[in-house]
Structure 1
Amino acid sequence: MKKENILTYLEKKLTEILPERYDWALDWQAKKHWIAIYFRIFVENKMGQEIIDEEGVVASEIIEFEDVIYLCAGKEIPTDALYVYTFDRKKGIAQGVLDALVNQLLISLEDGESDLLDFVTDETMTEFELHWDEKAFQEQIKENQTGEILSYPKF
């Protein structure tokens, strides 16, 4: 049996923890040494508000919001993301860190779904964005020091 790595463990945890209503995908960008977790939340636009996204596209009946979290082991660090976690590729990442990351992502998605619904129904709100609670994430890491160190994926 092949030993679990960061990518295989993340896929297992995301499948296990995130409800099916959240659309997500993993993308290993090997040349940049990034693992991206793309995710989307959706809410129904029952009031028919005209909502225009960053690209100028007018939203329809379903409002969709997409963002990304990066795990970076390279020198190039992305800046346009909900969260970026950097690590040493040779050392890997502790299982507890990935558990905390997935748990905090779920909290951000649940809060974000509620906030997005408020944004769609409240004409006074001019923009929407997801939030990452770094303090809560770090506390979860401290509480969850168990588990093995997972290695960076290999081809």
Structure 2
Amino acid sequence: MAIKMKETILDALDRGMDDLTFGGELAVNWDKEARVFELDFTLEAENAHQIEVEDQGGHLNDGGKLTYEDSVLFYDETHLNGEDYADNYLTVIPFQGRKGIKKYVLDGFFKYFEDVLADGESDLMDFLDVDETDDTFLMHWDEKKFQAVLEHEPQSNERYLYPSY
């Protein structure tokens, strides 16, 4: 008799990242002690017009590749208050301890995240256009749009469980 293991949050994050059509880099980091997952992403664009760009660290880029890095935090709401870290992430999404996260939430996240990444890539290219007037580039997460995506997901109590370690 075969035993089928339930898919964990980590499995679902890995699969979701694999399914994205995104030209940048993606990585997931699991901090077991803090009970969080960070989904890191990197956008890159060629600064062909050699526009002088200063990053948050104060480093100047005036040509070559421009790199933008950010993350999404998935956190155990029974262990910490993720909103305390919201300013450091594109968005923060809770899960319920060992119970994990509802399947429709994570599935809906990846549907919306794909659009956010595509918009981010487009906005970064626009930012580097010499005819544009924007002096700041920043990725945008619209919580209302995310909630609208979730409303269209098939609602169920299926969950991706927190991984055992």
How does the TM-score come out when normalised to structure 1? 0.91
How far apart are the structure 2 equivalents of 1:119 and 1:39?
18
Partner residue of 1:145?
Answer: 154
**SS of residue paired to 2:6:** coil
Contact 1:42 1:63 in 2 (8 A): yes
Off by >3 Å, runs of 4+ in structure 1 = none
**Alpha-carbon distance between aligned partners in 1 of 2:99 and 2:6, rounded to the nearest angstrom:** 15
1:109-124 mapped onto 2 (5 Å cutoff): 109-122=117-130, 124=133
Give me the CA root mean square deviation. 1.6
Moved more, 3-12 or 145-154: 145-154
Partner secondary structure for residue 60 of structure 2: coil
Distance between the aligned counterparts of 2:152 and 2:102, measured in 1? Answer: 13
* Identity level (%): 30
Q: Residues 121-150 of structure 1, C-alpha deviation per residue, up to 9 Å, x if partnerless?
A: 246322111001211211211211256211
Question: Which has the higher mean CA deviation after the structures are superposed, 120-129 or 132-141?
Answer: 120-129
- Could you give the per-residue CA deviations for residues 94-136 of structure 1, whole angstroms, max 9, x where no partner exists? 1111111112111111111111111112463221110012112
- 1:42-121 equivalences under 5 Å are 42-59=44-61, 60-73=63-76, 74-77=79-82, 78-79=85-86, 80-121=88-129
Cα 1:134/1:76, change in 2 over 3 Å = closer
Equivalent residues, number: 154
Query: In structure 2, the residue corresponding to 1:121 is in which secondary structure?
Result: coil
SS in 2 for 1:109: helix
5+ unaligned residues in a row in structure 1: which ranges? none
